[in-house]
């Protein structure tokens, strides 16, 4: 299912569900490294849209150096991963920022605070990236206010 096939609210719910999954991974000391639209399965159910993050084949323990060798598009991969530097959860923050950029470009105008989070999330400097909890809370507030 493409982001264009979903409503703005559904796209944002998907992001919060991905953030929840990543929070659980990070709490266990793991980083996904490869968060992108192709690695999110979406299904419409009676309870609304349900998203599952998949493809944990590249996941690494935090602080691990990752030798990322790909001939494919790497727009979604954090710079420190591409440079074989120690990986932290901030690498996934970067990828979620890229995911939100795609959603913003394709389907909806995001709240200015979410756009600010995105700008920080896609920073080349991992320490500038804000936690996923922040964007998840902003999106949740946006979903429960009028869009």
Residue with tokens 């602080």: 63
Concatenating the DSSP letter of every residue in 39-103 gives: GEEEEEETTEEEEEE---TT-EETT-B-----SS--TTS-HHHHTTPBP-THHHHHHHHHHHHHH
Identified catalytic residue from 20, 23, 34, 131: 34
34 is catalytic: yes
Strand partners, 71: none
Q: What positions carry a catalytic annotation?
A: 34
């Amino acid at each position: 299912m493409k982001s264009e096939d979903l409503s703005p609210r559904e796209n944002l719910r998907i992001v919060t569900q991905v953030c929840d999954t990543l929070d659980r991974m990070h709490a266990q000391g793991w980083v996904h490294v490869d968060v992108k639209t192709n690695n999110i399965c979406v299904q419409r159910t009676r309870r609304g849209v349900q998203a599952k993050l998949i493809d944990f084949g590249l996941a690494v323990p935090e602080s691990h150096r990752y030798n990322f060798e790909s001939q494919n598009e790497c727009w979604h991969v954090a710079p420190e991963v591409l440079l074989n530097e120690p990986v932290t959860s901030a690498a996934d923050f970067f990828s979620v920022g890229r995911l939100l950029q795609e959603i913003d470009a394709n389907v909806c105008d995001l709240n200015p605070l979410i756009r600010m989070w995105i700008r920080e999330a896609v920073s080349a400097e991992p320490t500038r990236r804000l936690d996923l909890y922040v964007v998840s809370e902003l999106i949740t507030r946006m979903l429960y206010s009028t869009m």
